[in-house]
Structure 1
Amino acid sequence: MTMIDIMLPYYGDVALMQAAVESVRAQTDDGWRLTVVDDTSEPTVPGWFESLGDERIRYFRNERNLGITGNFTRCLDLAEHQLMSMLGADDLLLPNYVGTVLAAYREHPGVGMIQPGVEVIDQDGRPVKALADEVKRRLYAPKVTDRLLMGDEELATSLLRGNWLYFPSIAWRTDAIKSVGFNPDLRTTQDLALELELIERGEKMLVDSTVCFRYRRHLESVSSKMALDGDRFTEERGLFLATAERMRARGWRRAERAARNHSSSRLHALTLLPTAVRSGQRDVVRSLTKHAFGNS
């Protein structure tokens, strides 16, 4: 029987984490195991997990703070079942998540990644149509009414034009994601770097339109904080240009052009310029301007 390891690298708000855990426990398909890796020192958390008395849940607290990438890597090490996901501690599963991804995998056994349908919510749990998500949906994501299998240059080009995936919602074939792991030198582009390397290794992605995941978008994320200090776009530019060289060597010309243009990333930087100008952050203005208008 195929099972999915739901890994939850935890740091942050206790109540949101507890809601995420309860959303896993509410699954209608029991083909799951939840593993929580706690990278905090919040004193109430271990006792709360003990009070659940749920044998389907494993709880670990790190002896020292590992940081985001370190905690992700420990989660990878602890995954054992054929599939796994890396649930965000502030995101939620709808009750049909496990059933949806397991059914998709049964139809396409061996697929490396499964991207199910996602509903975006705000920090209070209300459905929201944020600009970033509307752009993803309308301009970059493929139009899927059931299931669509993608891979190779087609998928690489699509993601390099605009990354329309939601990393915490993806179900991964465990041996595939373990074979790549997480780059300790990256912070906000970990997801795209991982996805591209898997594509280059020949892994396919199955896109399933069934909505079964609630992705929380709020202003306190690491990526949103990094955006206005310019570091995010420095990292993105380096990833895109390095990827362009690999695409060229592979003979994937459309993917190479998409990486060199990185149009969605440039557009994002451009939308942040007025805020940086108003706040008088000259270094940030220079960084954003270079990214938005610089030569590829």
Structure 2
Amino acid sequence: MAGTPPVTPGTPRVSLGVPLYNAERYLEDCLDALLAQDYRDFEVIVSDNASTDRTWEICQRYAARDSRIRLYRNPRNFGGHVNYARVVELARGELFKWVAYDDVCLPSYLSTCVAALDAAGERVVLAYPRTVLIDEAGVMIGPYADGMHLRDHRPWRRVAGVAQHLSLCHAHFGVFRLSALRRTGMIRPFLSSDYTLLAEVARLGEIHEVDQPLFQRRMHGASTRQAKDSTPTSALAWYGQQDGRVRAPRLRMLMETLRMLSTGEPRLTTRLSSAMAFLAIWWARRIRVRLGRWRRRLTRRFRATTTSSGAF
């Protein structure tokens, strides 16, 4: 694979990376939404992971219509995490956004996020808008609160904010400063590594949530993680690990995140405080979840006992 393209005068300010594999079902909707953006200074980098459906044919058709679309095709499926890194490698812009084939960006997505980054200055490394969940047909399910507006100047407080709001992760589909994103490990080859990425980004700089619902996340059964029969083992197929076994995926994510936070460029106090903050909030959340489950079980048993006693 070729090296990172140099940034030269006249190159687009924003690079949109679209990693694909067998994406024919929603790909046209995705590309139409990108080409309808009211911010025009961008390129679209498509990297197809050797799809076996009509994905490549659709990409070629769109590239023939718009010269901003650059196409690349891998000789085989290297796994989703490799393809996500590939589009970052090929990016030429100052700013960068990953694009999932099944999601929709409303027309002012890019202009709003770019304006937020420009207004905030270099201390903000990622800007993303509010999320609305949609179903397979594009019908709105409802808003989703990401809660990743992390503007504290202290890295450990920002990292704690990430740990506090881990669930569906949408902030990593926002607009990054490319120089900051390239300092991270990006998407890694284990489940929920997007959590690890967001913690790493929060340690690097501030994250800004734009108070406008400009991102539509599609919930559908064809998604690797959303399918009704999805398991951690089946989800590994996205990483190109067909026969892998998953042991304690939550613990693996936690350990990888702590390892990342406790190493790297920042000074020792920043590394240790960030790792400790993530660990503390993570375990506090886990304890609350377990207490909630026990409380519900006790409530059900109490009601069952009360109903049984009242029957006599």
Q: TM-score range by the shorter chain?
A: 0.7 to 0.9
Q: Identify unmatched segments of 5+ residues in structure 2.
A: 1-9, 236-244, 263-268, 298-312
Aligned to 1:258: 281
- TM-score in terms of structure 2 length: 0.71
- The one of 190, 195, 210 aligned to 1:192: 195
SS in 2 for 1:112: strand
Question: In 2 relative to 1, CA 99–121 (structure 1 residues): closer, same or farther, beyond 3 Å?
Answer: same
% same residue: 18
- TM-score in terms of structure 1 length: 0.75
Alignment partners' CA distance in 1, 2:40 and 2:140: 27
- The one of 107, 111, 118 aligned to 1:99: 111
One-letter amino acid of the structure 1 residue matched with residue 90 of structure 2: L
Question: In 2 relative to 1, CA 167–222 (structure 1 residues): closer, same or farther, beyond 3 Å?
Answer: farther
- The one of 36, 42, 47 aligned to 1:37: 47
- The one of 142, 157, 163 aligned to 2:160: 157
CA contact (8 A) 2:156 2:273 kept: no
Q: Which digits, 9 at most, give the CA deviation of each residue in 1:178-234, with x for residues without a partner?
A: 121335431x3121111112223x321111112211111223322342358797782
Are 1:117 and 2:130 an aligned pair? yes
Question: In 2 relative to 1, CA 50–227 (structure 1 residues): closer, same or farther, beyond 3 Å?
Answer: closer
Q: CA deviation at 1:92?
A: 0.8
Q: Identify unmatched segments of 5+ residues in structure 1.
A: 275-296
For 1:113-152, what aligned pairs fall within 5 Å after superposition? 113-129=126-142, 133=144, 137=145, 141=147, 149-150=151-152, 152=155
Q: CA deviation at 1:95?
A: 0.5
Alignment partners' CA distance in 1, 2:106 and 2:213: 8
Are 1:70 and 2:82 an aligned pair? yes
Alignment partners' CA distance in 2, 1:189 and 1:94: 26
Aligned to 1:20: 30
Aligned residues: 258
Alignment partners' CA distance in 2, 1:160 and 1:119: 21
Question: In 2 relative to 1, CA 61–244 (structure 1 residues): closer, same or farther, beyond 3 Å?
Answer: closer
CA contact (8 A) 1:162 1:263 kept: no
Q: Which digits, 9 at most, give the CA deviation of each residue in 1:59-102, with x for residues without a partner?
A: 11111111111111111111110111111110111011111111
One-letter amino acid of the structure 2 residue matched with residue 73 of structure 1: A
Q: CA deviation at 1:57?
A: 0.8
Q: CA deviation at 1:32?
A: 1.6
Q: Considering only CA atoms, is the larger Rg found in Structure 1 or Structure 2? A: 2
Aligned Cα RMSD in Å? Answer: 3.3
Instruction: List structure 1 segments (4+ residues) > 6 angstroms apart after TM superposition.
Output: 228-233
CA contact (8 A) 2:187 2:194 kept: no
CA contact (8 A) 1:12 1:89 kept: no
One-letter amino acid of the structure 2 residue matched with residue 77 of structure 1: E
Question: In 2 relative to 1, CA 210–232 (structure 1 residues): closer, same or farther, beyond 3 Å?
Answer: farther
Q: CA deviation at 1:122?
A: 1.1
Aligned to 2:179: 175
Q: CA deviation at 1:177?
A: 1.1
CA contact (8 A) 1:7 1:35 kept: yes
Question: In 2 relative to 1, CA 37–172 (structure 1 residues): closer, same or farther, beyond 3 Å?
Answer: same
Question: In 2 relative to 1, CA 228–179 (structure 1 residues): closer, same or farther, beyond 3 Å?
Answer: closer
Alignment partners' CA distance in 2, 1:229 and 1:63: 23
Question: In 2 relative to 1, CA 266–36 (structure 1 residues): closer, same or farther, beyond 3 Å?
Answer: farther
SS in 1 for 2:248: helix
Q: CA deviation at 1:48?
A: 3.3
CA contact (8 A) 2:22 2:52 kept: no
Q: CA deviation at 1:33?
A: 1.2
SS in 1 for 2:43: strand
One-letter amino acid of the structure 2 residue matched with residue 180 of structure 1: T
